[in-house]
Structures are given as structure tokens and as C-alpha cells.
Chains A and B, each alone.
Chain A
Amino acid sequence: MRTHKLCMLGDFGVGKTSLVARFVRSTFSAKYLTTVGVKVDSKEVALPGREPLKLVVWDIAGRGALDGVGENYLRGASALLLVADGTREASLASALNLLMQSRRSLPNAVVALAVNKLDLVDRWEVAPATLAELRNTLPVFETSALSGDGVEAAFADLAARLAP
């Protein structure tokens, strides 16, 4: 089984850890995020008609920009899942900023954007037009860590694109 490293990137409080918790059964406590700055989990993803694939998910502590430690954590990653909070438009800008930074070291990584907190869609600040515009450049998934909507789809999309 092939294994790929996937890094979760996004601003503080956008729901990265919740998305990972929804996606995998965690081995390590979330306290590592505040101490070491990262928490690693893994999950096998079944792909229809193809060999299953294992994603090693690096949940990197939320921040608006990458520092030295954060860049180290990105090394060797094959996929990036950018996470933004739909109720905070600024978090979308942070996610895109993180994408720009990570492109320097990971030019070939596959990327997807998860706009989280779909359960609070009536309070979203991110306009549908903005998302429509973004969909022209990268896959965008509207997700809810609370309900689980769109979570599997986002990870499955990345896995499908990683699979040979």
C-alpha cells in the first residue's frame, strides 16, 4: 500500500483538528498541537476500482504564516488540505497565503481547500461568488466537522489525485 503525507494548513480555529478527528481515529492527543505544534495520524482510504492508499495526516498547529518549524513539518508532503472558516473571510485569505508559502517548498503537492463550518452556513462571510471563483483554480469543498458533511469527500479527492 502506498503511503502519502498530507498536511493540514489553516488559520487558528478554522477546524483543522476537528476535520482530522472526523476523518481518522486519533492515536495522539491534541495537546501535541500546542506543545510540538503538530499531531500526526494516519488513515487508509479506499478508492473505487483502485488499490487503497494510506494518508499520513500532519495536523499542523494553526497559524497565518509558516515559520521555520512549520516549513520543516511540510517537508516531503504529497498533499495539502487548506482549511478556512466560512464564517471568517480572513481565514480564507490566510489559507491562500499559506498555500503561496508552501508552494515554494512543495511545488508538486496536490492541494484542496476545505471551507469549514458548513453547519453555520447562514453566518458565512465567504461569498458564494468567491468560492465559485476559487473553484476555477483548486478543488473547493464545503465541509462541516460537526456533521461530517464534505469531510470524506475532501480527503477522498486528495487521495484519488495521489493514487497512480
Chain B
Amino acid sequence: MTSSGSGQDSREPSADAAAVVSDLLEESPPPGEFERLRELLLGEERRALDAARARIAELERTQDNLSQRLPGALEALADEASTTRVANALAAPVSQALGAAVQRNRQSLIDVLFPIIGPLIRKSIAEALRNLVADLNGAIESSFTLRGLKWRVEAWRAGVPYAQVVLKHRLAYAIDHVFLIERDSGLVLHHEAAPGLPELDKDAIAGMLTALGDFVGDSVGREGGGTLESVRVGEHLVWMLHGPRANLACFIRGVPPQALHGLLEQRLEEIHARLAAAADEDPRTPQNQTIWHEALQPPALIQEAGRSAESEQRKSPSRWPLLLIVLVLAALLFAFLLSRERWQARVDDLRGKLEAHPGFVLNGIEAKPWSRLVVHGLLDPDAAPLAPLLDASAFGGVEPKLDATGYLSTDDAVVERRAQRLLQPPAGVRIAVKDGALNLSGAAPQAWLDTATERAGWIAGVARVASTLTPEIDPVATARAELQRLVREFPSTQVGFLDDATPADDAANAVDTIAREARRAIELAKIGKVRVRLTCVGANTEVGSGQTNQRLRAARAQWLALALAARGVGGTDGGALATDGDAGLNRRVAYLRLTVEDTP
């Protein structure tokens, strides 16, 4: 209706306008005609324009007063819905305006907030310090108790600071909610809450937890069948324990002990045992609710978890294998160190002996325990051999090797060995070296004495020679020389005769002398290692016949033999003395002839 009416109105002015335009083209119109033409052509628009202007003016007038009217308008918001609507409408621009204001003028914001934040911060710090002091007090108090000592031992065994153990034991935690949730539907089978907590929509929370678990499981644990086990937000921790028919969700504040998790697992297993035993029964029956309540009430869980933790600490069965391993390792370490110590002690002992060994300068010992040992040094050829010393050192099957370079030592012992080697002294000679002085003493053959005296001063390491050597005496030669003298002297000791066989008055003295000399000759023969023959020789003057003289000489020789025999002088072989005659002497005497024969 409205649209058709307006169409007719628009068509009528258009026809009039056409007539007016035609008239204008034919003649000049009077001034009033222009106004009429304008009214015909633009009247509608002019009226609309005037209305718009009036509206704008009204709006501007209204806006001018807005700042005055706005507080009143806001105060006039009576109902909550209107207030909420205005608040929602203002939220975004106010937030943006605040951000811009903060960026442009931070100081003003600081000035405003400082009086508020300062006390809040001080209060927070004071509260934290109070808690810290309480913890320190607890730690100090516990330090001198049996429990404190146990914690110290625990810290020592675990290798963590004592403070950490104290905090672990003193940390309080609380269980806010425990949900027993039907696995499939996510509906709450039972709910326990700590006293004093506000009411919450437990069904919605249980449902969302189940949905989150499904979401996480399907999103990240699809292949491994993983489940959402725990969620941590700030100091709050949610443990999710899953069973075939029901899940447990435990809302915890603080740091719970692991024993609590084990206890919750145990409780969930017990619940499933109950559910399995009464499979046809509704798990929400009052009887079941009572059972769930006893199993899941937070104070009882905390108490039981505390007991379990202490019990586990008391038992600590798994500590023994660890202790045993530690002991074995310690024993092995001790054995290793002892073995190293023994090896080192033996090396040190060998080093000491080598350093004290004359004629050897130790440069070093290259030792690898129970594997290799090489001795490096300088060795004089005249030094005592090192092999016995090395062989005597026990290195557990490791054969010491010697890496030695030759040199000349001036050590007294080595110089003495060198003098021994070069001089080769006879048995009666003693060689000693002290402070570079070569001392020669004893007796030696003259030939050796001559050689030694010449060579001694040239021996390396000998600074001077001191000799007390004497020529050596040969008893054999001396005895033989004495025998030769006796051989010469025996004929001069004669026994005189008055007539044929009558000895002179001093014959006895002569016989005694001859007998003494004869015994001495026999002794000398033993020393001189020769045989002697004693022969009694008779002599006579040339008066008388030849036969008579011969008989006379024999008689006188016989008389002497008998006289000597009477004095204990026999033949050299122990038999009777031989007799002989000396026809050329021409005297009435008898004497003893000594003949020396070499031992066959």
C-alpha cells in the first residue's frame, strides 16, 4: 500500500514539471516561476534535507549534553542485566583505553598503584618469611632429634642436601577432591571432597576430565594406547588412575609422596574387585557409596599414605643389594689400591737398592703396574752384576728389563773390583780402596810385587797407592837350600879314633852334633819335599895294607852308625844307616855323608 501510494505522488509532480519546463523553453519566466520550478523539482529532497539537518542539530545538541547525562544514565541502570550489558559493552574499549593510557603515561599508573601494591608485596614477603622461618625452625629442631639424624642419614645415602630431605618430609599436601568416575560414560560414581571447599559441579568436572582423557588419548596416545596420567597447573596436581570399569581422579595441592599414588592404585584395584564381585549391582547403591567413602576420603588417604611411606623407609629392602654392590665395589677399589700400593712399594724398594748399588747410576724406572718394568741407568762394567738384584725383586711375573749405558765409576767398591781384575793379586795379598786410595797389603812373590807396583797407579779411579806388601818366603826352597848347606857341612863334623876302632875322648860330642844335624836334615827333607840318604863313612891313614885299611874304615863307619842309631837316627827309610869308606881322606875319623834325592 505504501509503495503504490508514493509512486502516484511521484508521477504527478513529474508531469507538472514537464509542462513547466516546456513553458520555460518558449519564453523567459518571471522570478516567482523559478521558485515554483525549484519547488516542483527539488521539493521532496529539500524537505528530506531539512529534516536531516534538524535531526543532526538535535543529535549535536544531545551529544553536547552527553557528558552531563552519562553519569546519571549509568547510575540509573537499575537491573543486573542492564548493568552487565553496559559492562560487556564497555569492557573492550575500556581495556584498550587502559592499555593505551599505561603506554602513554606509565608514571601516573605507578603513582596510583604504588600505594596499593606496596602493602600487598610487603604482606606477601612477610608471609613467605614467616613460612621460611617456620621451616627453618622445624629443620633446626629436627637436627638434634633421632628423626633429624635419620633424615641426615637419608640425605647422605641419597646424595642430596639435608635441606632437600627436610623439605620433602615437612612439605604439606592436601587432597581437595577424589572422583570415582565410570570409565565409559564419565559419570561420577562417587565423589569425596576435603571439608570447607566450595560446592562444584562434580558431574561436569568428571565429564570434562573424561573427555580430556579421551581427547588426549585419541590425539597423542592412539597407537600406544596412552592415557592421561596427570595434569599439573601451578601448585595443583591432578592424578588420573585408570581401571577397566572406573577411573580415579585425585585433585591435590602441594607435593604428594609417591606412596599416595601407590595407595590410590591399591584402592582402585579394591574398588574393581568390589565391582567385579557385584557386576549386576548398581555401583551407586548406598552400600557401595559407603564402601567408596571409606576407601577414598582424603584425610584417611593422607594418613595411610604417610604410614606407607614410613613403612617403606623402615623396610628399605632394596637398599641391601645396593649396599652389597657398594661394598663389593669398595673392596675391589681397596684391592686395586692395595695392589697399586704394593707394586709402588716394590718399585720404591728396587729404586732404593739400585740407587745404593755401586757402579750404577739410576736414571729412572719405567713401570706399568703388574705389566711392565724397565730400569734405565748407567752401569760400570766392573760393578757387581745387577741381575741378582733384579731377579730378587718380586714383581708378580713381570721380568724387569735393564736399559743400561756404560760408564766409569769412581766408587771405592767399583775401583777395588777394577783393581782386583787388573792386578789379579795372589792369595796372600789384600786390596782395599778408600777415598780413592788403593791400599795393598800382605805378602807376595817378588815378581808380582814388581808388576803390581808398576800398574797400581794407572788404574782408573785410583788417586794414590799405599802399599805395605812384603816379598813372600818359600819354605820348600829354603829347606832345600839348607839341606844343600848341610850336605856340604856334614863331612866336616868328624868323630876321631885313637886306634883301629877306639873313639877319641870327644867322640861323644861329635856324635851328638852329627845326630842333631841328621835329625834336622830329615825334617828339612820333609819340608823340601825331597828324600835324603844318610851314609856313615869311615876313613883311615895310609899306614897298613889295603885290606886292613878297608876293614878299619868299615869298622869305624859301623861304629858311627851304631852310635847314631843309639841316638835315634836311622836311615831315611827307617832302616839301618848305610856305611861307606873314604880311602882318600888319610885321617882316623868317621863322619856322616848326606845325599839329597828328588822325590820321584
Most buried by B among A2, A5, A40, A76: A40
Q: How far, in whole Å, are A17 and B205 apart by their CA atoms in the complex?
A: 17
Q: Which of B200, B207, B214 contacts A56 (CB 8 A)?
A: B207
Give the Cβ gap from A81 to chain B, nearest Cβ, in Å.
15
Q: Would A36 and B187 count as touching, CB distance under 8 A? A: no
Select from chain B the residue with minimum beta-carbon distance to A2: B284
Contact of B207 (CB < 8 Å), options: A58, A68, A72: A58
A29 to chain B, nearest CB (A): 11
The answer to whether A72 and B214 touch across the interface, beta carbons within 8 angstroms, is yes
Report A1-39 CB contacts with B as 1/0, cut-off 8 Å.
Answer: 011110000000000000000000001100010001111
Which residues in B have their C-beta under 8 angstroms from that of A73? 211, 214
Knowing A27-B205, A28-B208, A40-B207, say if A56 contacts B187 (CB, 8 Å). yes
Using an 8 Å CB-CB cutoff, how does the interface string of B185-229 with A read, 1 for contact, 0 for none? 111100000000000110111011001101100110000000000
Task: Enumerate chain A residues within 8 angstroms of B208, measured Cβ to Cβ.
Answer: 28, 32, 36, 38-40
Q: In the complex, what's the smallest C-beta–C-beta distance from B510 to chain A, in angstroms?
A: 159
User: Chain B, interface size: which category?
Assistant: 20 to 34
Contact in complex: B201, A42 (CB < 8 Å) = yes
A42 to B184, Cβ gap below 8 A?
A: no
Interface-centre pick from B183, B188, B203, B208 (highest chain A CB count, 10 A): B203
The A-contacting residues of B in range 243-301, CB under 8 angstroms, are: 284
Residues of the A chain whose Cβ atoms lie less than 8 Å from the Cβ of B186:
5, 40, 56, 58, 75-76
Residues of the B chain whose Cβ atoms lie less than 8 Å from the Cβ of A75:
184-186
A54 at the interface (CB under 8 A from B): yes
* Min CB–CB distance B215 → chain A (angstroms): 5
**Is A3 touching B187 in the complex (CB atoms < 8 A)?**
yes
Cβ contact within 8 Å between A36 and B207? no
B201 touching A41, Cβ below 8 Å: yes
Q: Kindly list chain A residues whose C-beta atoms are within 8 Å of the C-beta of B211.
A: 36-38, 40, 58, 73
Beta-carbon contacts under 8 Å, A35-51 to B: 36-42
B187 touches A5 (CB 8 A): yes
Known A5-B187, A36-B211; contact A72-B218, beta-carbon cutoff 8 A:
yes
Q: A5-B187, A28-B208, A56-B187 are in contact. Are A76 and B182 (CB under 8 A)?
A: yes
Q: How far is the CB of B416 from chain A (nearest CB, A)?
A: 104
Residues of A within 8 A of B188 (CB): 3
Cβ A42 vs Cβ B214 within 8 A: no
The chain B residue with its CB closest to the CB of A67 is B218
Please tell me if A90 contacts chain B, counting CB pairs below 8 Å: no
Given contacts A3-B187, A77-B185, is CB(A42)–CB(B204) below 8 Å? yes
A69 within 8 Å of B by Cβ? Answer: yes
Chain A residues within an 8 Å CB radius of B201: 27, 41-42
Distance in Å from the Cβ of A33 to the closest Cβ of chain B?
11
For B201, the closest partner residue in chain A by CB is: A27
Please state if A56 and B182 are interface contacts (CB–CB under 8 Å).
no
Q: How far is the CB of B597 from chain A (nearest CB, A)?
A: 141
Q: Which residues of A contact B207 (CB under 8 A)?
A: 5, 40, 42, 56, 58
A5 to B182, CA, bound (A): 11
Measured CB to CB, the closest approach of chain B to A71, in angstroms, equals 10
Give the Cβ gap from B413 to chain A, nearest Cβ, in Å: 98
Measured in the bound complex, the distance between the Cα atoms of B311 and A74 in whole Å is 44
- B182 partner residues in chain A, CB cutoff 8 A: 76
Contact B204 A27 (CB under 8 A): yes
Q: Can you name the residue of chain A whose Cβ is closest to the Cβ of B184?
A: A76
Complex-state Cα separation, A76 to B186, whole angstroms? 8
Question: B186, B188, B200, B219: which has the most chain A beta carbons within 10 Å?
Answer: B186
- Tell me if B185 and A5 are in contact (CB < 8 A): yes
A68, B214: Cα distance in complex, Å: 10
**Provided the pairs A69-B214, A72-B218 are in contact, do residues A41 and B204 lie with their beta carbons within 8 angstroms?**
yes
Q: A27-B201, A28-B204, A41-B204 are in contact. Are A76 and B187 (CB under 8 A)?
A: yes
In the complex, are the beta carbons of A76 and B185 less than 8 A apart?
A: yes
Q: Which residue of A lies closest to B282 (CB)?
A: A2
The smallest C-beta distance from B12 to any residue of chain A, in angstroms, reads 36
Residues 110-142 (chain A) with a chain B CB within 8 angstroms: none
Q: What is the chain A residue whose CB lies nearest that of B211?
A: A38
How close is B211's CB to chain A, nearest CB, in angstroms? 5
A36 touches B215 (CB 8 A): yes
Please measure, in the bound complex, the distance between the C-alpha atom of A58 and the C-alpha atom of B187, giving whole angstroms: 11
| A5: chain B residues within 8 A (beta carbon) | 185-187, 207
- Whole-angstrom distance between the Cβ of B249 and the nearest chain A Cβ: 14
Selected contact of B218 from candidates A28, A68, A76, A77, CB within 8 Å: A68
Q: Complex Cα distance A41/B204, Å?
A: 5
Min CB–CB distance B184 → chain A (angstroms): 4
**A35, chain B: closest CB distance, angstroms:** 9
Q: With the chains together, A16 CA to B207 CA distance in Å? A: 17
Q: Which residues of A contact B185 (CB under 8 A)?
A: 5, 56, 75-78
CA distance A159 to B515 in the complex (A): 170
Cβ-defined contact, A42 with B215, below 8 A: no
Q: How far is the CA of A27 from the CA of B201 in the complex (A)?
A: 7
Is B218 within 8 A of A42, CB to CB?
A: no
Name the distance in Å between A58's Cβ and chain B's nearest Cβ. 6
CB distance from A78 to the nearest CB of B (A): 8
| Residue interface mask B162-191, A partner, CB < 8 A = 1 | 000000000000000000001111111000
Q: A3-B187, A5-B187, A76-B184 are in contact. Are A36 and B212 (CB under 8 A)?
A: yes
Q: What 0/1 readout, one digit per residue, does chain B (21-41) give for beta carbons within 8 Å of chain A?
A: 000000000000000000000
Q: Which of B183, B200, B203, B218 contacts A69 (CB 8 A)?
A: B218
Residues of B with C-beta under 8 A to A77: 185
Question: Which single residue of chain A is at the shortest CB-CB distance from B205?
Answer: A27
Contact status B203-A3, CB under 8 Å: yes
In angstroms, how far is the closest chain B Cβ from the Cβ of A7? 10
Q: Considering only CB atoms, which chain B residue lies closest to A41 in the complex?
A: B204
Among residues of A, the one whose C-beta sits closest to the C-beta of B202 is: A42
Q: Which residues of B contact A4 (CB under 8 A)?
A: 187
Given A27-B201, A40-B186, A42-B207: 9 more A-B contacts, CB < 8 Å: A3-B187, A5-B185, A5-B186, A38-B208, A40-B211, A56-B185, A56-B203, A56-B204, A72-B214
Q: List 21 A-B contacts (CB under 8 A).
A: A3-B187, A5-B185, A5-B186, A27-B201, A27-B204, A27-B205, A32-B208, A36-B208, A36-B212, A36-B215, A39-B208, A40-B208, A42-B203, A58-B207, A68-B218, A69-B218, A69-B219, A72-B214, A73-B214, A76-B185, A77-B185
6 A-B pairs closest in CB distance: A76-B185, A40-B207, A76-B184, A42-B203, A72-B214, A75-B184
Which residues of A are interface residues toward B (Cβ below 8 A)? 2-5, 27-28, 32, 36-42, 54, 56, 58, 68-69, 72-73, 75-78
